[in-house]
Amino acid sequence: MPDIFFSIVIPTYNRAGYIRKTVESLLQQHDSAYEIIVVDDGSTDNTEEVLAHIKSDKVSYHKKANAERGAARNYGARLAKGTYINFFDSDDVAYPNHVGEARKAIISLNQPEVIHLGYDVKDPEGKLLRTVDAFPPTINDALINGNHLSCNAVFVRRDIAAQWPFSENRLLSASEDYALWLKLASRYDIHCWNVITSTVVNHELRSVLTINLEKFLQRMEILCQELKADDAFLKKYGSRWSTFRSYRDIYIALHLAMARYPKRKSIAYLWHAALLRPQVVLTRRFMAALKNVLV
């Protein structure tokens, strides 16, 4: 059996109310060959105090000046000793099979560059909202239609993570993961292993209701700029650029509708999405966005 060790990097910022549960869930793994690297991105709450109560030599805590998630993840990756790195969010929860299933997948797939496991989504009370575990063997083609991946479920071989870090552009924060998945998908297969090993907790701090329109639209534009500057992305996905833009506009329309911005703004983006790729009007995503606009 290959000698595989895992580094679980947890970037965090002001998640004192969540992170203890996250770390403790990761400490319950059936597979013991892993470390947990918590990178505190300049928290102003009592995150450090909360983590001080966790006594495990598997956990290391590192506080740095705030520079957003991309920089925190990269910082943790540079500290990692593992063969593979898993970037886990500080408000989510792992099941005890998380590391073990990653090992099974990596051995079965002959130590690929990137794998993605299944996950579910729950509300803060633990009610199951949906499961995400029906991916094709590789998800590269589907990624152009939107970010279907959970950071918690992605494992990247350390040499690949070193070569392709997250963007540290603050203005891209919250989309830096999608940008990286597309860059990786332009170069390597992203293999899927459809076993659920983690939960995304859909709590109020993740709400889109407080979205800042100017920053949100700026982030969407910077995402496009990052990808258009990548030759490998253009070679693989350039012929489907209108598809990418169309789904991006649906994503914008949905978020503006959910945040209760004037309906005309969402309608304009849906109209543009349909002009770019008329087929999208038949998709569930388009209909979901339209439904939110009309309520």
Tens of pLDDT, residues 167-177 = 999 999 999 99
Q: What percent of the chain has pLDDT over 90?
A: 95
Residues 6+ apart with CB under 8 A from 293: 253, 257, 263, 266, 267, 270
Tens of pLDDT, residues 237-290 = 999 999 999 999 999 999 999 889 999 999 999 999 999 999 999 999 999 999
Q: pTM of this prediction? A: 0.95
Using only the alpha carbons of the chain, give its radius of gyration. Answer: 19
- Cα–Cα dist 136/192, whole Å: 7
Tens of pLDDT, residues 78-90 = 999 999 999 999 9
Topology annotation, domain 6-201: Spore Coat Polysaccharide Biosynthesis Protein SpsA; Chain A (3.90.550)
- Average pLDDT on 55-76 reads 97
Work out the angle at residue 264's Cα, subtended by the Cα atoms of residues 172 and 280, and round it to the nearest 5 degrees.
Answer: 70
**Is beta strand 114-122 parallel, antiparallel or unpaired with respect to 190-201?**
parallel
Dihedral of alpha carbons 227, 229, 235, 238, sign? positive
Q: What is the mean pLDDT of the chain?
A: 96
Tens of pLDDT, residues 92-137 = 999 999 999 999 999 999 999 999 999 999 999 999 999 999 999 9
pLDDT given at position 211? 82
Tens of pLDDT, residues 20-29 = 999 999 999 9
Decide if pLDDT at 1 tops 60.
no
Tens of pLDDT, residues 197-250 = 999 999 877 655 678 899 999 999 999 999 999 999 999 999 999 999 999 999
Pick from 41-45, 152-156, 206-210, 211-215: least confident: 206-210
168 phi, psi to nearest 5 deg: -105, 15
Domain boundaries, the chain: 6-201, 213-294
